[in-house]
Structures are given as structure tokens and as C-alpha cells.
Amino acid sequence: MDASLAGKKILITGASRGIGAAAAKACIRAGAEVILHASGPGGAATVLAAELGLSANRFLFENLARPQAGERLFARALDCLGRIDGVVNNAGVYLPTPLAPANDNKWSTGWADTLAINLQAPADICRDAIAHFRARGNGGIIVNIASRAGHRGDGPDFAAYAASKGALLAMTKTWARGLAGENILLYAIAPGWVETRMAPEDIEARKKALAEIPLARVADPQEIAAMIVFLLSGVCASATGATFDINGASYVR
């Protein structure tokens, strides 16, 4: 059975680069109509829009750290597309929250921004998407991009990141269990290191990261995008609530 997205309308957050950009390209190839999000105009968003031949109104800009940004984004996307069949909550940040007392400002702002962007905004978008799916009466699909860190934790100075992704996983499972009877399906993807801006660039750090990956390489964004398309297609609805680990066997549950 082909994982086709023909006729589907999809909102993808954090789509200007990395996993989000790869997902946008893959969804379009699979036949979807997309509406994309980035934190601000210019740069990568402009390049990607030109590459995909998208009109200016198909890239929406919202700083997801701001209150109700997720709600505003979904409303704007819905206004643009008329309906939404699927959502990919991909936008996220990897900010340090240092334990050392000398870093109190980084601690407080790191936790606040991480939880706002990685958890509150996706939660708000999910809530509004669920309301939209219910109003239409024929279901819908949400894919939340979490992280290996949501299962196994992260370094001591990145507790906020791990906590936000762990909460995202729990949120996904909760709504998947509660809404499956309405044909509202939720999935999570938990990548390890992916070849994006978040991947280690320092030579020694990269060596250390690769040493713990049996596959001996970090994942490619296109690999995550392929799974996103598969899940959005609805060809395996019985997998709702599942988390798909894409980490080169570096963390096997």
C-alpha cells in the first residue's frame, strides 16, 4: 500500500531547515498541499519557499516562545488552507539549562523558552487541531517530533530539553488512547542525533556521539521525513499512540 498524501492539507512547524524542510519536500512529493511555519522571515525560509515554488502566504511566521503563539499559528494555517488534515509538530529548541548557580539567567530563561516552544506550543496546536478534526467529523493525524532524550534523558545541563520531550511523548500517548475512536490519530517520532544544526559540530563531540551509535552515523533528515509521510498517510492506523525510535540503535527500548 502506497503512503500517498494526495489531497491532504498539512501544517508543518519549524519547516525552514533540517527535519521540517525535509518533511515539507517529502509531503509535497507525496501529493500533499502544505502550509509551513518558521520563527521569522528571511534566510532559510525564503530559500526553501523558492525551491518548492510556494507563494509567500504558504510560510507563516510565529515566535512560538510567545503566549498563544501555537493557537495563532493554527488559526492562520486554517484560514489559509480552509481545512487541515494533518499536523507535524517539529519546531523545537535545544537550549542549555546549566546547573551551576552562576548561570541563573540561562537556567530560568532556558526552562521557560524550552517548555514554551517544545511543549506548550505543540500542545496548543494539538488542542486546536483536535477541535478542528472533531468539527469536521472525519478525523485527522498529528505527528509530534520528540527525541531519544525524552526516554533516556540528556546531559545534566539539558534537563529542560529532555523534560519537554518526555512530556511531549506522554501527551501524544494520552490523546492517542483517548481519541482513537474518533479516528484522530497521534504518533511520536523520537530521533537520536540527526544531521541538522543540533548535531554535534565539534570534532571530538561528534566522535563521542558516533561512538554510541551502532549504525556509525547520525540519521539523515530525509529518514525522519519518510517516516512522517508514512504516518500522515494513515496506512497503519493501528499504530496510533506509538513512538518510532530513529537513532541507529543507540537507544533500544
Q: List residues with catalytic annotation.
A: 161
Residues 6+ apart with CB under 8 A from 118: 92, 93, 161, 164, 165, 168
Q: Quick one: cell of 131?
A: 477541535
CA gap 89, 104 in Å, rounded = 29
What totals of helices (H) and strands (E) does the chain contain, helices first?
9, 7
State how far the Cα of 147 lies from the Cα of 162, in Å rounded to an integer: 8
> Alpha-carbon distance 243 to 246, whole Å?
10
Q: What is the DSSP letter of 219?
A: B
Identity of residue 23: A
**All 3 cell numbers of residue 139?**
478525523
Are 191 and 224 spatial neighbours (Cβ–Cβ below 8 Å)?
yes
In this structure, the number of other CB atoms found within 10 A of the CB of residue 38 comes to 25
Return the residue matching grid coordinates 552562576.
102
Contact criterion met (CB below 8 Å) for 123 and 144: no
CB 201 within 8 A of CB 181: no
Which ranges of the chain does DSSP label H, i.e. alpha helix?
18-29, 44-52, 69-81, 104-115, 121-136, 149-152, 159-179, 203-211, 221-233
